[in-house]
Amino acid sequence: MILSDELIKDLSFSWRAASFEERMEMAERIEDEQAKQQNRRACPIEISQNIELVGAYTPKKETIALKPMLLSLNDYFPLLYILIHEGRHFFQHLICKGMNTETNQKINLLKKNLFESGYLRKTPDYVLQPAESDAYSYSLRMLGEINETVQSTYGSDYRKKIFLKHQQQYLSEQIDQGRKKYGNDYPKIIAYKVNTKDELFNRFLERIPKGQEMYLSALIEDFMDERLGRKWAVGEFQQLLRKTPFKKAASIPEYLQPKDHVSPVITNRSALHISR
């Protein structure tokens, strides 16, 4: 388990009465302990209002940013879930920088997927792509283990049970969508889309106006979806690019608006839906 019994005890008994500063210290302890379990350095945590959702891992700064409201919740499970998910993204970036704990094939695909050139944003591709699929699965598995300890040691807590169930249902729904759209071999289709987008993005990036990278992403993802299941040539995309009047960022589809690995949004039902 990624957290010690001592930390789980402190979270269970002290969170509700803790001050904002004390909760921030607990957040740092969570990251410190999971970092040790993953044999990596801890990722600095900062409080910021300048992020879209409640939290974000920012690769350029190598930090996890949290909105202050996240530390104001009565339950610590949303914070824990976010820190595990975003800490996993930090771990992924470290793998790609040389912490070789995966096969080379997985690393090569992950390297492409972690950057805009190979990052997928459309539903259900977003959750099914390697970086997010791994982060979702890992965070839910770790949260499940912690939940079992909490429930068996400190008594039944329906809020944590419901919270975990909502996250599991969301991931299950996305996987079901992937199977309906691509079949049981959906991981291979997703890998193909990551590789193809990375190839097209890097090949044609210099041919578009500066600042229009997100629009290029939108074109490529729509292009791939329209031609899924049939053969096509790179020349088809080149022709599309020549005919396309590049638009301002505001006209880019919402699912392609630039974001840094943005953490889950907390809904009224305490369910989190993660977006980059």
pTM over 0.85: yes
pLDDT (0 to 100) of residue 246 = 74
Task: Determine the pLDDT at residue 269.
Answer: 38
**Who contacts 76 (Cβ-Cβ below 8 Å, separation ≥6)?**
11, 15, 23, 26
**Cα distance between residue 106 and residue 122, in whole Å:** 22
pLDDT, residue 177, reads: 98
On whether the CB atoms of residues 107 and 100 are closer than 8 A, the answer is: yes
**For the chain (length 276 residues), average pLDDT per consecutive 10?**
95 96 98 96 93 84 93 95 95 84 79 94 95 96 96 92 96 97 96 97 93 91 93 93 71 51 42 42
Q: Which residue is associated with the tokens 């729509």? A: 222
Distance in angstroms (rounded) separating the CA atoms of residues 63 and 46: 7
Residue 168's closest CA among 137, 189, 191? 137
Number of Cβ atoms within 10 Å of the Cβ of 239: 11
* pLDDT of amino acid 80: 97
Are 49 and 55 in contact, with CB atoms under 8 Å apart?
A: no
Q: What is the pLDDT of residue 193?
A: 97
Using alpha carbons, select from 83, 89, 100, 101 the residue that is nearest to residue 3. 83
Residue 273: the pLDDT is 42
Instruction: Give the pLDDT confidence score for residue 254 in this predicted structure.
Output: 57
Count other C-beta atoms under 10 Å from residue 118's C-beta.
26
Three-class HEC string of the chain: CCCCHHHHHHHHHHCCCCCHHHHHHHHHHHHHHHHHHCCCCCCCEEECCCCCCCEEEECCCCEEEECHHHHHCCCCHHHHHHHHHHHHHHHHHHHHCCCCCCCHHHHHHHHHHCCHHHCCCCCCHHHHCHHHHHHHHHHHHHHHHHHHHHHHHHCCCHHHHHHHHHHHHHHHHHHHHHHHHHCCCHHHHHHHHHHHHHHHHHHHHHHCCCCCHHHHHHHHHHHHHHCCCCCCCHHHHHHHHHHCCCCCHHHCCHHHCCCCCECCEECCCCCEECCC
**pLDDT for res 275:** 39
What confidence score (pLDDT) does residue 192 get?
96
Q: Which residue type, as a one-letter code, is found at position 219?
A: L
Report the distance separating Cα 41 and Cα 140, nearest Å.
22
